[in-house]
Amino acid sequence: MANPYAIDTRRLTRRFDDIVAVDGVELRVASGAIFGLLGGNGAGKTTMVKMLTTLLAPTSGSATVAGFDIVSAPHEVRRRIGYVPQMLSADGALTGYENLLLSARLYAVPRAELATRIADALGFMGLNEARNRLVKTYSGGMVRRLELAQSMLHRPAVLFLDEPTIGLDPVARHLVWQRLRDLNARFGMTILLTTHDMEEADHLCGDLAILHAGKLAAHGSPTTLKAALSSRATLDDVFAHYSGTMDQSGRLRDTDQTRRAAQRLE
Amino acid sequence: MHQFALEVFAIGAVEFRKLMRDPTELISRAIQPVLWLAVFGQVLSHARGIETGRAGYLAFMTPGILAQSVLFSAIFYGIAVIWERDLGIVHKLLVSPASRTALVIGKAVSADFRGVAQAILVYIIALVLRVPIRWEIGAIVGVLCIVALGSAIFSTFSLAMACIVKTRERFMGIGQVLTMPLFFASNAIYPLSLMPEWLRRVAKLNPLTYLVDALRGLMVQGEQSVYGLAVDCAVLAVVFAALVLVTVRIYPRLAQ
Ligand SMILES: Nc1ncnc2c1ncn2[C@@H]1O[C@H](COP(=O)(O)OP(=O)(O)OP(=O)(O)O)[C@@H](O)[C@H]1O
Ligand SMILES: [Mg+2]
C-alpha cells in the first residue's frame, strides 16, 4: 500500500441530473484517524459515503480507500471496509446472533474463528444477554451497537458510519461514541462518520471536514477550525459560518429521517 | 467457489429461519390453490366444458394450479427486497465483498422454500380430491426440482422489477398488471389447442407454459408433457440464467 492515507479523493464529483451532490472534493484522511464529515441536510455527506463504499460510481474524479481505487478495484475496497448506513439497518426478523452470523459469512470470516469473533463482538458491544432476541425488540441504541458489532467482525481497515447516532437518546449516544473510540484504539481502525451533531464532532473526531452544497468548505481539527474563526467560537459557530443557516426544507428532511429511524423500531 | 456456495447458503438460511419463525404467509398462500382446485376445478370437471385428456379436467388442472401458486408466491418477492432497501439492508449486502451473483441466486433459493411448500400443499389437496397422482419417488422429486426452478425464475424476475421501479407503490401496480396475463396466457387451466392463434403464440413465449408442461408430465397419471421434459427444462434453465445475468447488473441500482 503506497498511499499513506486511508481515504484519498481527487476532485471527486457526483451529479444527479442537474444537481451536483458532490463537487470536486479533495479529501485526505490519515490512517487511524476518527474523521468527521459535517454538513447540513443535502450537503452531500451520504453521496460522499456511498461513493467511498463503492455503492455509487463517481461522475468524475477518483478516490482510493485503504489503498485501492474505488472504481477500478471495488472488490478490494469492499474487503477492507465496514459500513453502517444512515438507517437502522439490522434485520428485525432475525436475532442479534443471526444478523452477526450472516455478516460473518458474507465477509468470509474464517470458519475456525467464526464463533469467537461473534462472541467477542457481542461482548464488546454489550449485547450478550440479547443475542437470541429478535432485533425488532431491541432499542435504537442496541440496534446501532449490533450494527457496530456486525461491522467489526472482519476487522475492516476503514469504517464508514452515516449519522451513527441520529435518533438515539443521550445515554445510547455516549455508549456508541465510547465503542467507536475503543474500535479505533483496539484495531487501529480508521473511522469516517458523517454528522450534523456538533457535540459528536467535538467529542469524537480528531479531524473534520465541512461540506456545503457538495463542496469542501473547511477542513481541520476542531480546535484549529474554532481558533480560525475567533477565540471564543464554538463548533456550532464554525458550522454556521461555513454552511449557512439551515433552510426550511432542510428541517423537513431532518424530521423525516428521524421519523424513519423511529419507525424502524416498531 | 466454496465461498460462493457459502454466500448463497447464508442468504437462503436467513430466509428459511424467517419462514419457520413466522409461517403465516405460507398459510395465507394456501387458500388460493384450495379454492381453485376444490371449487373451480370440481365444478368444471363436472361440467366437462373443457376437453382434456382421459384423466379428467381436475387432473389436467392440478399441475397448472401448482404452477400458478408458484408464480403468485414468487412474483411479489420484490416487495420484500424493496423493504430491505428502505431499511438499508441491501446497502449492507452490496458493501460486503460477497459475490453479487451469489446474492441474487441466494434470493432465488430463498423463494424456493415457498415454492416447495406450495407443492406439498397441492399434493395434499390432490390426495383429498382423489386426483390420479403419480406417487413415484422419481416423479415427485422431479416435480420439486421443477417447482424450485420455477420459483427461482419468477422471484428473480420480481427482483429485477424491484431494481427498476424501486418503490413499493409502483411495484404493486406492475405486479398486479403482470401476474394475471402471465397466468391466463399460459396452458395452466386450458390446453394451448383451445386458444386462438394469437394467444397461443403469446403462450409459447411464456415461461409459465413450460413450467406447467413439465409439471403436467411428471405429476399426474394419464397426462403428458407436450414439449417433452428435456425441452421444458432447457427453456426454464436458459430463462433463469438470462434473468440472473440481467439482475446481477441492475441489483446495485437499489442502493444508489
Ligand atoms: N439518488 C439520488 N437521486 C437524485 N438526487 C439525489 C440522490 N441522492 C442524493 N441526491 C441529492 O443530492 C444532494 C445531496 O444529498 P445527500 O443525501 O448526499 O445529502 P446529505 O448531506 O447526506 O443530507 P442529510 O443530512 O439530509 O442526510 C441532495 O440535493 C439530494 O437531493
Ligand atoms: Mg445523509
Task: Map out the domains of chain B as residue ranges.
Answer: 2-45+53-255
SS3 per residue for chain B:
CHHHHHHHHHHHHHHHHHHHHCCHHHHHHCHHHHHHHHHHHHHHHHHCCCCCCCCCHHHHHHHHHHHHHHHHHHHCHHHHHHHHHHHCHHHHHHHCCCCHHHHHHHHHHHHHHHHHHHHHHHHHHHHHCCCCECCCHHHHHHHHHHHHHHHHHHHHHHHHHHHHHCCHHHHHHHHHHHHHHHHHCCCCCCCHHHCCHHHHHHHHCCHHHHHHHHHHHHHECCCCCCCCHHHHHHHHHHHHHHHHHHHHHHHHHHHC
Angle between helices B57-75 and B77-87 (to 10 degrees): 10
Ligand 1, atom 31, lies closest to the CA of A42
The answer to whether ipTM exceeds 0.85 is yes
In the sheet that A215-220 helps form, which strands lie side by side, from edge to edge?
A81-84, A158-162, A190-195, A34-38, A207-212, A215-220
- Test the A interface: residue of B24, B81, B92 with most A CBs within 10 Å: B92
Each of the 266 residues of chain A gets a pLDDT tens digit; together they read 457 799 999 999 999 999 999 999 999 999 999 999 999 999 999 999 999 999 999 999 999 999 999 999 999 999 999 999 998 899 999 999 999 999 999 999 999 999 999 999 999 999 999 999 999 999 999 999 999 999 999 999 999 999 999 889 999 999 999 999 999 999 999 999 999 889 999 989 999 999 999 999 999 999 998 888 888 888 888 888 888 754 444 444 444 444 444 444 44
Quote the cell numbers at residue B191. Answer: 390446453
Q: Least CB-CB distance to B89: which of A81, A89, A105?
A: A89
Among the partner residues A83, A86, A98, nearest to B95 by beta-carbon distance: A83
Q: How far apart are CA B115 and CA B72, in angstroms?
A: 10
Say how many C-beta atoms besides its own lie within 10 A of residue B161's C-beta: 22
The gap from C-alpha B23 to its chain's centroid, in whole angstroms, comes to 18
